[in-house]
Structure 1
Amino acid sequence: MAQGGFFLVPRPSPGAALVDLYFRVLSRRRLGRLNRIVLLAALRSLGILNWHNPRESGEEWLLSRLAALLADRVIVDVGANQGSWSALARRLVPTATIHAVEPNPVTFARLATQAVVSGFTAHNTALGDHIGNALLFDYASGPGGTGHATLHAGVFTTVHHSQAAPVSVPLTTLDELAQGNGLDSIALLKIDTEGSESAVLRGGARLLAAGVIDVIQFEFNEMNVVSRVFMRDFVELLPGYEFYRLLPGSALPLGEYTPWLWEIFAFQNVVCVRKGSGLTL
């Protein structure tokens, strides 16, 4: 069995001796709780599980970092929910043109109100890799309109351990949305669709092939266990992009694809910057 390289463990590095010492001293059953705490701290320092607010997640930093690029350009927020991110984008980049997309009819009513207040355009549709209709699932109990609504029913049984109720929603593609609204290019595409992020990108194949999307931010988490989508799939979808993981005040370059570092199914914001755009994070 291979002992290093692509599939299993990292190649020897300057920190290997420290890791080996940690392993020999602390790999004890009675220290399991301590090691889990250390693991959680390490994950958060790598940009994972920092979901509490836009400052902690790094989303506020990213908008500020990209403000010059985004001025007078187009931002598309897919899975906009009630519009808090779009409102933040409007505040930090006042001259941008912002399109916010949300399929949930209950949530969309709130998004539409925020769109009037903040001055952006709201679209009541889901985005995917084809045009038609789709079933959107939300909690069976309650009024609906939650941030967990998803096109994948299994998200509720597997992740949220709850029953889900469906509602039929219109479905279109990113390419069609752009064409219908005269969007020749997108400076920042943000996607948070609870497991359908890769389908949104496949629906933007023409835009991606034309090289007119500069920066893509998408959420990757345990929903991808249900949708069966790996980070490797995003690497293959976006060969012309450099990948980063957001930190509270910076972005961590992910470098060469390595499964043990990339395939972590927990909340994280991944940012992809088009090669040749002249932008580095």
Structure 2
Amino acid sequence: MCFDIGTNKGEYAARIKKVNPAIRVVCFEPNNNLNNLIRSNGLTEIHNFIIGDQNGKAIIYINHELPSQSSIHRKPKNSQKVEVRSVTLDKFCNDNNIKNISFIKIDTEGHEVAVLKGAQNLINHQLIGMIQFEYGGTFLDSRTTLRDVYNILSKNYIISHVLPNGILPLPYSNILETYRYSNWLVISRNIFKYL
């Protein structure tokens, strides 16, 4: 089972399905205007709410010109303010009797740390195999850091920088706080020991 948190148009999730058509891919995209595009990529399990660190309501600023830049943390020009439901990953999995997740992709324009905070039970019990997340300037918008990610994950997971020729496991260092766009892969220590 894979989760695509911040699905946008569904291109990433569609690539996962192409590799393994039998895999269940669960999409989370609060902008319901993108549902038809997501479905056109062969994806049918779509949840139009935010995954975060709280259960309740949240405001998101939908950018209709560049939907991938819609954000809970900053208000782009010509954006529409929309109230949506917010659910923690722990609650979603508990409510839906999901015991483990093989892979999660998180691209939430600065909301990545909140997503991780809302998955503490899953993280503490290593019920997520791997997590890929995007890091960059949107972390400034949410006033979060890579240190926050390491604080949440490093006890049970190996955190690696994704490079063109592979991954590079890295311990935390202030030098990493560049806010330049990059991708990171987090692997459960239970899995990493077999790699």
Structure 1 counterpart of 2:45: 121
Structure 2 counterpart of 1:91: 18
Aligned residue for 1:218, secondary structure, equals strand
Aligned residue for 2:149, secondary structure, equals helix
Q: How many residues align?
A: 194
Cα RMSD of the aligned pairs, angstroms, is 1.8
Aligned residue for 1:103, secondary structure, equals coil
The structure with the greater share of residues assigned to strand is 2
Q: Does 1:207 align with 2:122?
A: yes
Aligned residue for 2:123, secondary structure, equals helix
Q: Deviations over 1:78-135 (max 9, x none)?
A: 0001111110000012222110100012123422x23xx5254111111111111111
Q: How does 1:221-240 map to 2 (within 5 A)?
A: 221-239=136-154, 240=156
Q: Deviations over 1:179-204 (max 9, x none)?
A: 23321101111100000001011111
Structure 2 counterpart of 1:257: 172
Q: Deviations over 1:50-91 (max 9, x none)?
A: xxxxxxxxxxxxxxxxxxxxxxxx100000011111100000
- Structure 2: distance between partners of 1:93 and 1:249: 23
8 A contact 2:61–2:72 mirrored in 1: yes
8 A contact 1:97–1:120 mirrored in 2: no
Q: Does 1:133 align with 2:57?
A: yes
Instruction: Work out which of the residue numbers 182, 191, 195 in structure 2 matches 1:268.
Output: 182
- Structure 1: distance between partners of 2:192 and 2:174: 28
Identity %, equivalent residues: 28
Given the two structures, how large is their TM-score scaled by the length of structure 1? 0.65
Aligned residue for 1:94, secondary structure, equals coil
Structure 1 counterpart of 2:8: 81
Q: How does 1:87-236 map to 2 (within 5 A)?
A: 87-111=14-38, 113-114=39-40, 118-139=42-63, 143=64, 146-153=67-74, 156=76, 162-236=77-151
Aligned residue for 2:140, secondary structure, equals helix
Larger radius of gyration: 1
Distance 1:122 1:145, change over 3 A: farther
- Structure 2: distance between partners of 1:279 and 1:95: 27
Query: Structure 2: which 5+ runs fail to align?
Result: none
Given the two structures, how large is their TM-score scaled by the length of structure 2? 0.91
- Structure 2: distance between partners of 1:186 and 1:150: 25
Aligned residue for 1:277, secondary structure, equals helix
The structure with the greater share of residues assigned to helix is 1
Query: Structure 1: which 5+ runs fail to align?
Result: 1-73, 157-161
- Structure 2: distance between partners of 1:96 and 1:144: 32
- Structure 1: distance between partners of 2:74 and 2:53: 18
